[in-house]
Structure 1
């Protein structure tokens, strides 16, 4: 792919973890989201999970002298890591961000991943799943500004806000993906994922 405007396949949802914190809850919640999507959308839609410490995600500091909004060709990116990230995002027809709330915001590695690209995000359907002691609403609010206003993505109308108990945040418990308490958040997840699939050009509530 040489141009950022190349044809994009319409059968892949990329789930991007917002945190690389070891021993956190990101992978467990992302696994829950991934399993739910695979069960509730047609089976020919590929669901791909990308964490911040596995290629093509680990990008390093934003050192490119040219602003991403001025990059129109894949070859103009300075490193293979950024080109790989551009290619991955471009081959996703929709994005789901799963992120914790840190200090009333979202993690720096997620901002880093978003800021390395620009046109690749434009018009791409997206869904937010945030978590924290109160569900991560402040994190979701900031991401709506960055992703919706700044990067011009098509965000679904409802965010999925997963409230975690103290044991999951400061204790020894960690979300595994099949936890009983997650059932309380299945309704908003279904509503959001139905809309996401509609934005992808599919029909809501289509059988798997």
Structure 2
């Protein structure tokens, strides 16, 4: 996965609250351990009508949503089961960040491990951003800030280790493997 310094994009808005991981990617699509291709199943039951045609009402099917990398979501996003396929599907769909007033802990941790930035802001701030989805938002991982074109700046929580992993484009194992020579030197100098 590539490191993420900044993301600049307009947003897709899903106002629904309590969007669980089964709504993000239904269980019937979890038979793979491959990340590529899961984006086509993201929000599957909302994106498609029973006849297999796109639901024109759904936010991701609207022409103006194409290529947008930020999702503004209702409260309690990513609740439910711990499936890692959910952030895989969202990143394969093209998303780089999810902004909500509440993001489920397991989903947040899985997102950080897979290069999807989970941003928690105050509910009033998320609602304000939802009113202007066509604004070009800038997410600065190093500064832990989301900025709007009119000069508003929202800081978001991101622990230092998760921030480092996002900036370097690694998960926990990748972080350790990148430091294998330092670890070996330490072990050699502290031999029993």
TM-score, scaled to structure 1:
0.30
Q: Which has the higher Rg, Structure 1 or Structure 2? A: 2
TM-score, scaled to structure 2:
0.32
